[in-house]
Structure 1
Amino acid sequence: MTEQPLTDGFGRRHRDLRVSLTDRCSLRCTYCMPEQGVPWLAKPTLLSTEELLRLVAMAVDLGVTEVRLTGGEPLLRRDLVDVVAGIAAMTGDDGPVEVSMTTNALGLDRVADDLRAAGLARVNISLDTLRPDTFRELARRDRLDDTLRGVRAAAEAGFHPVKLNTVLLRGVNDQEAVDLLAFALEHGYQLRFIEQMPLDAGHTWTRHGMVTGEEILDRLRTAHRLQPVPTRGSAPAELFLVDGGPETVGVIASVTAPFCGACDRLRLTADGQLRTCLFATGETDLRTPLRAGAGDEALQRLVTSALAGKRAGHDIDDPAFLQPPRPMSAIGG
């Protein structure tokens, strides 16, 4: 292995591993999943806790310093607290691994304290609307109160900052940008708006239908002064001070202003496939060799070989761009 084995052909060093714990979800958001008929991953293909922790430990040995748990919905994984504790106990050359989670917060109030005690450092919570009727339209479930209860529970458990992720859809919730920011500012949450990406199961995404990052900023500027924060690094969100700060709002413009040049992320799916890009159409199978008895060095070679083939960017603007066959729920955010 080289001294920095997770450096790709463009000099990008990868420190962030996104781990999908399940492809199942308790909501059916229109920009992610169909209302019914979802072909779930077969249970025997899913990584066990022991297998998952071994692959994460192998990645930490290669230089990963942060692990983000995603889904589907990670709260649906019954051994979530054990997974968090196992990863939080890992230490790499740069110190202890930081464990975070992206969630819809349904049921978070029941386990927030346990997750905090197990070593979970941060939570990102999806919240696309503050209106019950719009929530039902977007998520196809009447669960806004449960989501807000989970948001409050995260703050009460000591997670700081609690980050909120919002996807605006044209003609659905795009008029709520200012209201959502006011809600976040009032409660001390950090809001991040995310451009809708071509990762929906129905492949209905269109560029015209997407609310762009610039449109979001224009809406926010009707009520607030926004000042760009100069230092971004490898973070996906471009941050802006709100009315002089210190509060900020972020915009993740993956489509119109991609940040591929600073990408430091790898993804492991719930069924043990390594993805070097959220939009990749190919994957590297780690589950099969793992179950066949491959040693850590052999698995690490598969990871570094996959990373060597990582492309410079996702090429969404290329006319030849193909949407990944897996939807977001089966990839992990």
Structure 2
Amino acid sequence: MQGRNAGIFRIWKGVTVSQLIDAFERRFYYLRLSITDVCNFRCTYCLPDGYRPQGTRNTGFLTLDEIRRVTRAFAELGTEKVRLTGGEPSLRRDFTEIIAAVRANPAIRTVAVTTNGYRLARGVAAWRDAGLTALNVSVDSLDARQFQAITGQDKFHQVMAGIDAAFEAGFDKVKVNTVLLRDVSDIHLDTFLAWIKPRPLQLRFIELMETGEGNALFRERHVSGELIRQRLEQRGWRCQPRGRTDGPALVFHHEDYRGEIGLIMPYAKDFCASCNRLRVSSMGKLHLCLFGDGGIPLRDLLESDGALEALKTRIAGGLNHKKQTHFLHQGNTGITRNLSYIGG
């Protein structure tokens, strides 16, 4: 692989067969683009002390024009899915315009957002009109008091109303992200299953991941998703095949349920073998892994449309430095201080 251009783009019989490829023959169709690291929630597993700027900033977050340019470059390299992340991405005043700018790339088939749901009820119809095609909402408990204890915000009913508004706006499925916490979400599996039985929700249990600022919580609250998997399989849930632009979740289906269960288990064996996503931070750095040691600067090539080819070359060449796996098993969290830092 070292002698090849990692960004070669080829079409065979109308189907994209080779796009961004790393040294381990993994193909990347999926970009997670952080547009801010600001968040108004204080989740215990991410920002328990609230948002704090990451050092001294010489410049702001990516502008709308910079977002247009970086997503155009990824689209021309074969990216088919872009997820807008944060922090809380809907805190951007130009969030609707950002969605429209990304969706303007004809190669981008899916424009998704991960949100805490704070502005969902009032904004989701406009987001969908702008081109949003997929939606993930964070809900860590179905008990309003526990929800407030985890997030630091008394917004449970507001978030639930937002999910209802998403269906009313025309989404046929909503994904719900739930961080798996010992003695919290793991002991309420039956409550979650009852919630999704009549609803087209994909409930995604995400294993708690260790971060630079979350070591103590990790030791106290981490529980393996394998325990949930065993309980699901005992009840007749079956794992479904993954699509090439799907995220890392193993998705389980049961014929008696309208909803689905997803399990994201970063500590599972060979988790990184199916990696298909890259990240760009809100400050314009390409991150090859959520738990990597650094980022590749792109912002100097986002100042004008004239640098598009150089931008594509830098992105593609960067993949030669992507490692085979993260090092979470060794307690190495890289530069990730918290999950809002480069978009979770």
1:267 maps to what in 2?
Answer: 279
What are the equivalent positions in structure 2 for 1:22-33 lying under 5 Å apart?
22-33=36-47
Instruction: Select 1:82's aligned residue among 97, 104, 108.
Output: 97
Distance (whole Å) between structure 1 residues aligned to residue 233 and residue 321 of structure 2: 41
The 3-state SS of whatever aligns with 1:176 is: helix
1:2 deviates by: 2.5
2:119 maps to what in 1?
Answer: 107
Residue 20 (str. 1) matches residue 31 (str. 2): no
Instruction: Select 1:198's aligned residue among 191, 210, 216.
Output: 210
1:303 deviates by: 0.9
2:263 maps to what in 1?
Answer: 251
1:97 deviates by: 3.2
The 3-state SS of whatever aligns with 2:216 is: coil
Distance (whole Å) between structure 2 residues aligned to residue 284 and residue 45 of structure 1: 17
Residue 53 (str. 1) matches residue 68 (str. 2): yes
Residue 329 (str. 1) matches residue 335 (str. 2): no
1:174 deviates by: 2.6
Q: For structure 1, which segment, 157-166 or 201-210, has the greater mean C-alpha deviation from structure 2 after superposition? A: 201-210
Which residue identity does 1:72 align to in structure 2? G
Q: Does the CA-based 8 Å contact 1:33-1:327 persist in structure 2? A: yes
1:64 deviates by: 0.6
The 3-state SS of whatever aligns with 1:45 is: coil
What number of residue pairs does the alignment pair up? 328
CA distances 1:163-202 after superposition (whole Å, capped 9, x unpaired): 1111121133332222112112222211111101123644
Q: For structure 1, which segment, 9-18 or 235-244, has the greater mean C-alpha deviation from structure 2 after superposition? A: 235-244
CA distances 1:228-283 after superposition (whole Å, capped 9, x unpaired): 22556554111222256664311111123452112110101111111011111110
CA distances 1:36-71 after superposition (whole Å, capped 9, x unpaired): 462257482311111111111111111111100111
1:293 deviates by: 8.5
Distance (whole Å) between structure 1 residues aligned to residue 259 and residue 174 of structure 2: 13
Which residue identity does 1:68 align to in structure 2? R
1:6 deviates by: 1.2
1:15 deviates by: 0.8
What are the equivalent positions in structure 2 for 1:172-321 lying under 5 Å apart?
172-199=184-211, 201-206=213-218, 209-220=221-232, 224-231=235-242, 235-242=247-254, 247-291=259-303, 295-318=307-330, 321=332
1:217 deviates by: 2.8
1:162 maps to what in 2?
Answer: 174
Q: Does the CA-based 8 Å contact 2:291-2:336 persist in structure 1? A: no
Q: Does the CA-based 8 Å contact 2:201-2:260 persist in structure 1? A: no
Large movers: runs of 4+ above 6 Å: none
Question: Kindly tell me: are residues 200 and 25 of structure 1, through their superposed partners in 2, closer, same or farther at Cα, counting changes over 3 Å?
Answer: farther
Distance (whole Å) between structure 2 residues aligned to residue 221 and residue 228 of structure 1: 9
The 3-state SS of whatever aligns with 1:206 is: helix
Distance (whole Å) between structure 2 residues aligned to residue 219 and residue 296 of structure 1: 49
TM-score by length of structure 1 reads: 0.90
Distance (whole Å) between structure 1 residues aligned to residue 336 and residue 212 of structure 2: 10
CA distances 1:67-114 after superposition (whole Å, capped 9, x unpaired): 00111011101111111111111123xxx4320111111111111111
What are the equivalent positions in structure 2 for 1:96-175 lying under 5 Å apart?
96-175=108-187
TM-score by length of structure 2 reads: 0.88
Distance (whole Å) between structure 1 residues aligned to residue 210 and residue 36 of structure 2: 20
Gap regions ≥5 residues in structure 1: none
Which residue identity does 1:12 align to in structure 2? R
Distance (whole Å) between structure 2 residues aligned to residue 153 and residue 40 of structure 1: 34
Question: Kindly tell me: are residues 13 and 122 of structure 1, through their superposed partners in 2, closer, same or farther at Cα, counting changes over 3 Å?
Answer: same
Q: Does the CA-based 8 Å contact 1:178-1:220 persist in structure 2? A: no
Distance (whole Å) between structure 1 residues aligned to residue 51 and residue 203 of structure 2: 32
Residue 10 (str. 1) matches residue 24 (str. 2): yes
**Root mean square deviation of aligned Cα:** 2.3
1:141 deviates by: 1.3
Q: Does the CA-based 8 Å contact 2:39-2:51 persist in structure 1? A: no
Question: Kindly tell me: are residues 161 and 18 of structure 1, through their superposed partners in 2, closer, same or farther at Cα, counting changes over 3 Å?
Answer: same
